[in-house]
Amino acid sequence: MRNKSVIMEARDIRLAIELIELGARLQLLEAETKLSRERLLKLYKEVKGESPPKGMLPFSTDWFMTWQPNIHASLFMGYFRFFERNTQLRGLELIISAYRMYLGQIKRGGMDSVLSLTRAWTMVRFFEADMLQMVACEECSGEFVAHAHDPKKGYVCGLCHMPARAGKTRKAMGAVAVSVA
């Protein structure tokens, strides 16, 4: 018979609710809490009013290399590394704090969030597994997410060398057409 602590279960429930509100996927909840899958499903439905999305978690570092996700991932990692160096936060608390800071910055800039909490959590795991690293741009000196063990010399970020089609999404083009009309 397992000895369950009511206090520990309450902490896991509080943490699960916070993660669900931030958009965490069910797999993240399962990995970071000791609650059963059935309990997490009920909690997710109660908090969000719908079933959790199905599908696999992000598994490739390549998503973080395309220009817009790279900028958002790099912003998050800047906050993450700052909190890691200057606070006592560790683990999931560190990720949540950095993610909240990222969301606040994106909201102040009037932009859409590109990086989900689940992707941020996965990215931190990629850094811990030495699959990703931070690299300084030779033009602006900002630090950006890059594949681990790629050459650092000559790196130019997506802000200093934007792709030709950057920002030309249907949504952005629609906003331009509305503002011109």
Q: What is the pLDDT of residues 113-164, one digit of tens each?
A: 999 999 999 999 999 999 999 999 999 999 999 999 999 999 999 999 988 8
Is 53 a domain residue?
no
Residues 70 and 132 in one domain: yes
17 lies in which domain range?
6-48
- The answer to whether residues 40 and 65 belong to one domain is no
| Distances from the Cα of 34 to the Cα of 30, 41, 146, angstroms | 7, 13, 33
Domain co-membership, 92 together with 142: yes
Domain CATH number, residue 135: 1.10.10
- Tell whether pTM > 0.75: yes
With beta carbons less than 8 A apart as the criterion, state whether 135 and 65 touch. no
Whether residues 167 and 82 fall in one domain = yes
Is residue 181 scored above 50 in pLDDT? no
Q: Give the H/E segment covering residue 58.
A: none
Supply the pLDDT for residue 80.
98
Q: Which residue ranges are tagged as binding site for Zn(2+)?
A: 137, 140, 157, 160
Range 93-103 average pLDDT:
98
In this prediction, residue 165 carries a pLDDT of: 75
Question: Do residue 109 and residue 137 come from a single domain?
Answer: yes
83 shares a domain with 151? yes
For residues 70 and 174, the model is more confident at 70
Which residues are known binding-site members?
A: 137, 140, 157, 160
Query: How many separate domains does the chain show?
Result: 2
Rounded to the nearest 5 degrees, what angle is found at the Cα of 44, between the Cα atoms of 40 and 129?
Answer: 65
Q: What is the pLDDT of residues 22-44, one digit of tens each?
A: 999 999 999 999 999 999 999 99
- Please indicate, yes or no, whether residues 43 and 79 belong to a single structural domain of this protein: no
Based on the domain organization, do 29 and 110 belong to the same domain? no
